[in-house]
Homo-oligomer: A and B are copies of this chain.
Protein backbone atom coordinates (compact mmCIF):
# COMPACT_ATOMS: atom_id res chain seq x y z
CA UNK A 1 0.00 0.00 0.00
CA UNK A 2 2.81 2.45 -0.83
CA UNK A 3 0.51 4.22 -3.23
CA UNK A 4 -0.51 7.19 -1.16
CA UNK A 5 3.12 8.37 -0.97
CA UNK A 6 3.23 8.43 -4.77
CA UNK A 7 0.30 10.82 -4.71
CA UNK A 8 1.37 13.23 -2.00
CA UNK A 9 1.11 16.22 -4.35
CA UNK A 10 -2.51 15.37 -4.54
CA UNK A 11 -5.19 14.57 -7.07
CA UNK A 12 -7.32 17.12 -8.91
CA UNK A 13 -10.85 16.20 -9.95
CA UNK A 14 -12.25 17.94 -13.03
CA UNK A 15 -15.99 17.49 -13.12
CA UNK A 16 -18.60 17.05 -10.41
CA UNK A 17 -21.11 14.73 -12.06
CA UNK A 18 -22.00 11.13 -11.28
CA UNK A 19 -18.66 9.54 -12.22
CA UNK A 20 -16.50 12.34 -10.77
CA UNK A 21 -18.42 12.16 -7.49
CA UNK A 22 -18.01 8.40 -7.08
CA UNK A 23 -14.31 8.48 -7.96
CA UNK A 24 -13.66 11.42 -5.60
CA UNK A 25 -15.47 9.65 -2.77
CA UNK A 26 -13.53 6.45 -3.36
CA UNK A 27 -10.24 8.38 -3.28
CA UNK A 28 -11.23 10.15 -0.09
CA UNK A 29 -12.37 6.89 1.53
CA UNK A 30 -9.00 5.36 0.70
CA UNK A 31 -7.12 8.30 2.22
CA UNK A 32 -5.87 9.83 -1.00
CA UNK A 33 -5.33 13.59 -0.95
CA UNK A 34 -7.91 15.16 -3.28
CA UNK A 35 -6.52 18.64 -3.66
CA UNK A 36 -9.21 20.45 -5.56
CA UNK A 37 -12.46 20.01 -7.46
CA UNK A 38 -13.11 21.93 -10.63
CA UNK A 39 -16.49 22.35 -12.28
CA UNK A 40 -18.02 24.99 -14.51
CA UNK A 41 -20.98 24.98 -12.13
CA UNK A 42 -20.14 26.41 -8.72
CA UNK A 43 -23.02 24.66 -7.02
CA UNK A 44 -22.08 21.12 -8.01
CA UNK A 45 -18.37 21.84 -7.44
CA UNK A 46 -19.18 23.00 -3.91
CA UNK A 47 -21.41 20.01 -3.12
CA UNK A 48 -18.68 17.57 -4.13
CA UNK A 49 -15.83 19.55 -2.49
CA UNK A 50 -17.80 19.72 0.77
CA UNK A 51 -18.38 15.98 0.71
CA UNK A 52 -14.69 15.22 0.47
CA UNK A 53 -13.59 18.24 2.56
CA UNK A 54 -11.48 20.01 -0.04
CA UNK A 55 -11.47 23.23 -2.07
CA UNK A 56 -13.19 23.91 -5.35
CA UNK A 57 -12.92 26.33 -8.22
CA UNK A 58 -14.89 27.23 -11.33
CA UNK A 59 -11.80 28.81 -12.91
CA UNK A 60 -9.55 26.27 -14.58
CA UNK A 61 -6.56 28.63 -14.25
CA UNK A 62 -6.80 28.38 -10.48
CA UNK A 63 -5.95 24.68 -10.50
CA UNK A 64 -2.49 23.75 -9.16
CA UNK A 65 0.19 23.31 -11.83
CA UNK A 66 1.89 20.65 -9.75
CA UNK A 67 -0.25 17.69 -8.75
CA UNK A 68 0.27 13.95 -9.21
CA UNK A 69 -2.91 13.29 -11.09
CA UNK A 70 -5.69 15.17 -12.87
CA UNK A 71 -8.85 13.13 -13.39
CA UNK A 72 -11.09 14.57 -16.09
CA UNK A 73 -14.61 13.31 -15.66
CA UNK A 74 -16.86 15.60 -17.63
CA UNK A 75 -19.27 14.87 -20.47
CA UNK A 76 -17.63 13.56 -23.66
CA UNK A 77 -18.54 16.76 -25.49
CA UNK A 78 -16.85 18.97 -22.88
CA UNK A 79 -13.50 17.14 -22.74
CA UNK A 80 -11.84 18.72 -25.80
CA UNK A 81 -12.30 22.31 -24.68
CA UNK A 82 -11.26 21.46 -21.16
CA UNK A 83 -7.95 19.83 -22.10
CA UNK A 84 -7.04 22.80 -24.30
CA UNK A 85 -7.25 25.02 -21.23
CA UNK A 86 -5.75 22.73 -18.62
CA UNK A 87 -2.15 23.60 -17.66
CA UNK A 88 -0.09 20.97 -15.85
CA UNK A 89 3.63 20.43 -15.34
CA UNK A 90 4.46 16.74 -15.24
CA UNK A 91 1.38 15.38 -13.51
CA UNK A 92 -0.59 12.56 -15.11
CA UNK A 93 -3.81 13.52 -16.88
CA UNK A 94 -6.52 10.89 -17.37
CA UNK A 95 -10.05 10.89 -18.64
CA UNK A 96 -12.73 8.45 -17.51
CA UNK A 97 -14.71 8.05 -20.73
CA UNK A 98 -15.44 4.66 -22.27
CA UNK A 99 -15.68 5.88 -25.84
CA UNK A 100 -12.85 8.39 -26.15
CA UNK A 101 -9.38 7.42 -27.33
CA UNK A 102 -6.49 8.00 -24.98
CA UNK A 103 -4.69 9.86 -27.76
CA UNK A 104 -7.04 12.79 -27.53
CA UNK A 105 -4.79 13.81 -24.62
CA UNK A 106 -1.51 13.35 -26.53
CA UNK A 107 -1.02 16.86 -27.97
CA UNK A 108 -1.35 18.45 -24.55
CA UNK A 109 0.35 16.34 -21.88
CA UNK A 110 3.52 14.39 -21.24
CA UNK A 111 2.00 11.68 -19.03
CA UNK A 112 -1.52 10.69 -19.79
CA UNK A 113 -3.96 7.81 -19.79
CA UNK A 114 -7.44 6.53 -19.14
CA UNK A 115 -9.11 5.52 -15.90
CA UNK A 116 -12.46 4.00 -16.90
CA UNK A 117 -14.69 2.59 -14.17
CA UNK A 118 -17.18 0.15 -15.71
CA UNK A 119 -20.33 0.87 -13.76
CA UNK A 120 -23.52 2.96 -13.90
CA UNK A 121 -23.24 5.82 -11.45
CA UNK A 122 -25.87 7.98 -9.81
CA UNK A 123 -24.73 10.53 -7.24
CA UNK A 124 -27.35 9.59 -4.70
CA UNK A 125 -26.56 5.85 -4.70
CA UNK A 126 -23.68 4.53 -2.69
CA UNK A 127 -21.66 1.74 -4.29
CA UNK A 128 -18.96 -0.64 -3.15
CA UNK A 129 -16.19 0.86 -5.28
CA UNK A 130 -13.89 -2.07 -4.55
CA UNK A 131 -16.07 -4.28 -6.78
CA UNK A 132 -16.05 -1.96 -9.78
CA UNK A 133 -13.82 -3.04 -12.70
CA UNK A 134 -11.29 -0.28 -13.40
CA UNK A 135 -9.90 -0.23 -16.94
CA UNK A 136 -6.52 1.42 -17.25
CA UNK A 137 -4.52 2.63 -20.21
CA UNK A 138 -1.38 4.77 -20.18
CA UNK A 139 1.10 6.30 -22.63
CA UNK A 140 4.23 5.13 -20.82
CA UNK A 141 5.39 2.70 -18.15
CA UNK A 142 5.79 5.32 -15.42
CA UNK A 143 2.19 6.44 -15.91
CA UNK A 144 0.89 2.91 -16.24
CA UNK A 145 2.49 1.79 -13.00
CA UNK A 146 1.19 4.79 -11.11
CA UNK A 147 -2.33 4.33 -12.46
CA UNK A 148 -2.28 0.59 -11.79
CA UNK A 149 -1.14 1.13 -8.23
CA UNK A 150 -3.83 3.75 -7.65
CA UNK A 151 -6.53 1.57 -9.23
CA UNK A 152 -5.48 -1.48 -7.22
CA UNK A 153 -5.85 0.39 -3.99
CA UNK A 154 -9.43 1.36 -4.94
CA UNK A 155 -10.69 -1.86 -6.53
CA UNK A 156 -10.01 -5.56 -6.59
CA UNK A 157 -10.71 -5.72 -10.34
CA UNK A 158 -8.16 -3.82 -12.41
CA UNK A 159 -7.53 -4.43 -16.13
CA UNK A 160 -5.20 -2.99 -18.72
CA UNK A 161 -7.41 -2.27 -21.73
CA UNK A 162 -6.46 -0.28 -24.80
CA UNK A 163 -8.68 2.34 -26.43
CA UNK A 164 -10.09 0.09 -29.15
CA UNK A 165 -11.04 -2.66 -26.73
CA UNK A 166 -12.42 -0.12 -24.28
CA UNK A 167 -14.75 1.23 -26.95
CA UNK A 168 -16.18 -2.25 -27.53
CA UNK A 169 -16.48 -2.77 -23.79
CA UNK A 170 -18.33 0.52 -23.45
CA UNK A 171 -20.68 -0.40 -26.27
CA UNK A 172 -21.35 -3.79 -24.66
CA UNK A 173 -22.10 -1.90 -21.45
CA UNK A 174 -24.60 0.30 -23.29
CA UNK A 175 -26.51 -2.88 -24.21
CA UNK A 176 -26.16 -4.55 -20.82
CA UNK A 177 -27.01 -1.44 -18.82
CA UNK A 178 -28.75 1.39 -20.69
CA UNK A 179 -30.70 -0.82 -23.06
CA UNK A 180 -31.53 -3.29 -20.32
CA UNK A 181 -32.80 -0.41 -18.24
CA UNK A 182 -34.94 0.68 -21.16
CA UNK A 183 -36.51 -2.78 -21.33
CA UNK A 184 -37.43 -2.31 -17.66
CA UNK A 185 -38.81 1.16 -18.52
CA UNK A 186 -41.00 -0.24 -21.29
CA UNK A 187 -42.25 -2.93 -18.92
CA UNK A 188 -43.03 -0.22 -16.42
CA UNK A 189 -44.89 1.91 -19.00
CA UNK A 190 -47.01 -1.06 -20.04
CA UNK A 191 -47.94 -1.83 -16.44
CA UNK A 192 -48.72 1.82 -15.71
CA UNK A 193 -51.26 1.84 -18.52
CA UNK A 194 -53.09 -1.03 -16.79
CA UNK A 195 -52.55 0.34 -13.27
CA UNK A 196 -50.57 -2.75 -12.30
CA UNK A 197 -47.92 -2.36 -9.58
CA UNK A 198 -44.44 -2.16 -11.06
CA UNK A 199 -42.99 -3.94 -8.06
CA UNK A 200 -44.59 -7.17 -9.26
CA UNK A 201 -41.68 -7.26 -11.73
CA UNK A 202 -38.95 -6.80 -9.13
CA UNK A 203 -38.28 -10.46 -8.30
CA UNK A 204 -38.13 -11.16 -12.05
CA UNK A 205 -35.67 -8.31 -12.67
CA UNK A 206 -33.34 -9.54 -9.92
CA UNK A 207 -33.51 -13.19 -10.96
CA UNK A 208 -32.92 -12.35 -14.65
CA UNK A 209 -29.70 -10.54 -13.69
CA UNK A 210 -28.54 -13.27 -11.31
CA UNK A 211 -29.29 -15.99 -13.82
CA UNK A 212 -27.38 -14.28 -16.62
CA UNK A 213 -24.37 -13.84 -14.34
CA UNK A 214 -24.44 -17.41 -13.05
CA UNK A 215 -25.54 -19.33 -16.15
CA UNK A 216 -24.36 -17.09 -18.99
CA UNK A 217 -27.08 -15.13 -20.81
CA UNK A 218 -27.07 -17.42 -23.86
CA UNK A 219 -28.13 -20.37 -21.72
CA UNK A 220 -30.52 -18.37 -19.58
CA UNK A 221 -32.95 -17.32 -22.29
CA UNK A 222 -36.65 -18.20 -21.85
CA UNK A 223 -39.90 -16.81 -23.24
CA UNK A 224 -41.89 -16.78 -26.50
CA UNK A 225 -39.10 -15.55 -28.81
CA UNK A 226 -36.60 -18.30 -28.05
CA UNK A 227 -39.38 -20.90 -28.36
CA UNK A 228 -40.46 -19.26 -31.63
CA UNK A 229 -43.99 -19.20 -30.18
CA UNK A 230 -45.60 -17.28 -33.04
CA UNK A 231 -49.04 -17.19 -31.48
CA UNK A 232 -47.91 -15.34 -28.36
CA UNK A 233 -45.56 -13.10 -30.34
CA UNK A 234 -48.41 -12.21 -32.70
CA UNK A 235 -50.73 -11.43 -29.81
CA UNK A 236 -48.13 -9.20 -28.16
CA UNK A 237 -47.46 -7.31 -31.38
CA UNK A 238 -51.20 -6.69 -31.71
CA UNK A 239 -51.38 -5.45 -28.11
CA UNK A 240 -48.48 -3.08 -28.85
CA UNK A 241 -50.18 -1.42 -31.84
CA UNK A 242 -50.76 1.68 -29.72
CA UNK A 243 -47.04 1.94 -28.90
CA UNK A 244 -45.41 1.88 -32.35
CA UNK A 245 -41.86 2.18 -30.98
CA UNK A 246 -42.27 -0.61 -28.47
CA UNK A 247 -43.82 -2.71 -31.23
CA UNK A 248 -40.75 -2.19 -33.41
CA UNK A 249 -38.42 -3.05 -30.55
CA UNK A 250 -40.49 -6.13 -29.68
CA UNK A 251 -40.37 -7.36 -33.22
CA UNK A 252 -36.63 -6.83 -33.84
CA UNK A 253 -35.51 -8.11 -30.47
CA UNK A 254 -37.67 -11.24 -30.79
CA UNK A 255 -36.24 -11.95 -34.21
CA UNK A 256 -32.71 -11.42 -32.93
CA UNK A 257 -33.27 -13.70 -29.91
CA UNK A 258 -34.46 -16.49 -32.16
CA UNK A 259 -31.57 -16.12 -34.60
CA UNK A 260 -28.86 -15.83 -31.95
CA UNK A 261 -30.17 -18.87 -30.15
CA UNK A 262 -30.34 -20.99 -33.28
CA UNK A 263 -26.74 -20.05 -33.96
CA UNK A 264 -25.47 -21.03 -30.53
CA UNK A 265 -27.57 -24.19 -30.16
- A119/B207 contact (C-beta < 8 A), A185-B218, A191-B169 known: yes
**B-side contacts of A220, CB under 8 Å:** 120, 122, 181
**B-side contacts of A133, CB under 8 Å:** 200, 203
- A222/B171 contact (C-beta < 8 A), A182-B256, A207-B119, A208-B177 known: no
Asked if B182 contacts A196 (CB within 8 A), the reply is: no
A183→B190 CA distance, assembly (Å): 19
**B-side contacts of A185, CB under 8 Å:** 217-218, 221, 257, 260
Interface size on A, residues (CB 8 A): 96
Asked if B239 contacts A167 (CB within 8 A), the reply is: yes
Asked if B18 contacts A222 (CB within 8 A), the reply is: yes
- A191/B172 contact (C-beta < 8 A), A196-B165, A217-B184, A217-B185 known: yes
Segment 226-265 of A: residues with Cβ below 8 Å from B? 226-227, 229, 231-232, 235-236, 239-240, 245-246, 248-250, 252-253, 255-257, 259-260
Segment 22-53 of A: residues with Cβ below 8 Å from B? none
Asked if B183 contacts A222 (CB within 8 A), the reply is: no
Contact of A223 among B135, B177, B188, B236 (CB under 8 A): B177
Asked if B200 contacts A159 (CB within 8 A), the reply is: yes
**B-side contacts of A165, CB under 8 Å:** 194, 196
A127 within 8 A of B: yes
Q: List chain A positions with a Cβ less than 8 A from chain B.
A: 18, 75-77, 99, 118-122, 125, 127, 131-133, 135, 157, 159, 161, 164-165, 167-169, 171-191, 193-194, 196, 198-218, 220-227, 229, 231-232, 235-236, 239-240, 245-246, 248-250, 252-253, 255-257, 259-260
